């Protein structure tokens, strides 16, 4: 997500930046184009030590009191059937996924946005997870070193640190995000909690859904051009090449018209959008509605009234694909976003 003014900033502390290559670099699983079958896996052997985004973390046993500080982290834990081991969540942007609502209702919500360190510690956690490094900074909750001093292990989503460069509030990816990063996160969390079979089953299910969506998109909609608009009216935030939206384009065979930018969410002027004239516009429908351009209806009204944007092919043909803010983030919603984009590409002009 855009780092300013949006609250989804991926800001990594100096402590974590220093060891990104060691903790979360480069290696991927088997090619994601190959179907993944859910093979039987054994139990976790403790103590378990993982290298995670520049930090070495050791678990003597499976966590029983986990706190997740970001919605996508929460949804992965819930998808692994771990609600009974969660004592708090925070940093929400959208309603939880429908199939997780019942389990989520049993887990205390510490804050809609970011909780204080004291609030987190009051839950007596034995693990704190996050999918956005802004939570692991002293200005927000606490950095990972502080949690380590307090004897609380932390886990950072690999999507934050894998092949990324952080400069101030700008996130630049050295290589495009792949679906394997999500699968890695699921497998690692399943290993930490000693539910490895659940992790394998979840990865196989997601892979099957993704493969089906990819096949149908490439069968008749490949090569169409697309732009992903998160927020902002005067200078919109449009997705660059390499975060979750770039993954969606790659998986469906679409062409992201701003793939020449390596920033996650660069600010683009509307004249540049008009020059590239995408066939399809992916519009973020943000539950937060903090600024003009967050809400879907505001975006559409602007597109269809502004003298520059109303000439766009996507606007004239009303070729809009709507994704929630959480679907534009790396996380378990990546597969659902691929499915929605594939369907929108197949649909053609209104």
Q: What is the pLDDT of residues 304-342, one digit of tens each?
A: 999 999 999 999 999 999 999 999 999 999 999 999 999
Lowest-pLDDT range of 194-203, 219-228, 266-275, 310-319: 219-228
Mean pLDDT of 64-78: 97
Looking at residue 105, what is its pLDDT?
Answer: 98
The answer for residues whose C-beta is within 8 angstroms of residue 229's C-beta and 6 or more apart is 236, 237, 238, 281, 282, 283, 284, 299
Pinpoint the residues of the chain covered by CATH 3.40.50.1980: 14-209, 220-347
State pLDDT tens for residues 72-126: 999 999 999 999 999 999 999 999 999 999 999 999 999 999 999 999 999 999 9
The answer for residues whose C-beta is within 8 angstroms of residue 212's C-beta and 6 or more apart is none
Structure tokens given for 347:
């649909």
Q: 61 to each of 46, 117, 128, 189, 197, how far by Cα in Å?
A: 6, 24, 15, 13, 17
**Of residues 345, 10, 326, 41, the one with CA closest to residue 168:** 10
Looking at residue 27, what is its pLDDT?
Answer: 35
Looking at residue 11, what is its pLDDT?
Answer: 29
How far is it, in rounded angstroms, from Cα 217 to Cα 223? 10
pLDDT more than 90, % of the chain: 73
Asked if pLDDT for residue 162 goes beyond 60, the answer is yes
Average pLDDT, the chain: 87
Looking at residue 169, what is its pLDDT?
Answer: 55
Domain at 14-209: CATH architecture: 3-Layer(aba) Sandwich (3.40)
- Does domain 220-347 fall under CATH 3.40.50.1980? My reply is yes
Looking at residue 17, what is its pLDDT?
Answer: 31
State pLDDT tens for residues 7-62: 333 322 333 333 333 333 333 333 333 444 556 788 999 999 999 999 999 999 99
Give this prediction's pTM.
0.86
């Amino acid at each position: 997500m855009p780092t300013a003014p949006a609250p989804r900033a991926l800001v990594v502390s100096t402590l974590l930046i220093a060891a990104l290559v060691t903790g979360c670099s480069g290696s991927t699983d088997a090619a994601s184009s190959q179907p993944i079958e859910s093979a039987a896996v054994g139990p976790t052997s403790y103590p378990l030590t993982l290298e995670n985004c520049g930090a070495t973390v050791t678990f003597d046993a499976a966590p029983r009191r986990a706190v997740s500080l970001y919605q996508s982290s929460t949804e992965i834990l819930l998808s692994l059937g771990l609600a009974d081991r969660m004592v708090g969540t925070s940093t929400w942007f959208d309603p939880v996924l429908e199939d997780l609502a019942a389990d989520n209702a049993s887990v205390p919500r510490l804050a809609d946005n970011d909780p204080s360190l004291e609030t987190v510690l009051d839950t007596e956690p034995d693990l704190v997870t996050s999918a956005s490094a802004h939570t692991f900074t002293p200005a927000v909750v606490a950095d990972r070193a502080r949690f380590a001093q307090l004897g609380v292990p932390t886990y950072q989503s690999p999507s934050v640190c894998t092949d990324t460069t952080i400069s101030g509030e700008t996130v630049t990816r050295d290589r495009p995000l792949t679906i394997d990063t999500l699968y890695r996160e699921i497998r690692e969390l399943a290993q930490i909690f000693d539910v490895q079979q659940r992790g394998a089953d979840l990865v196989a299910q997601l892979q099957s859904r993704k493969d089906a969506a990819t096949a149908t998109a490439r069968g008749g909609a490949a090569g169409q051009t697309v732009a992903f608009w998160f927020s902002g009216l005067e200078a919109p935030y449009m997705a660059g090449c390499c975060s979750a939206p770039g993954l969606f384009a790659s998986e469906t065979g679409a062409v992201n018209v701003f793939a020449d930018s390596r920033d996650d969410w660069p600010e683009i002027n509307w004249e540049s959008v008009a020059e590239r004239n995408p066939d399809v516009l992916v519009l973020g429908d943000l539950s937060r509605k903090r600024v003009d351009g967050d809400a879907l209806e505001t975006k559409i009204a602007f597109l269809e009234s502004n003298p520059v944007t109303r000439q766009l092919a996507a606007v004239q043909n009303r070729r809009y694909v709507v994704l929630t803010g959480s679907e534009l983030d790396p996380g378990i919603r990546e597969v659902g976003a691929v499915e929605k984009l594939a369907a929108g590409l197949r649909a053609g002009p209104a």
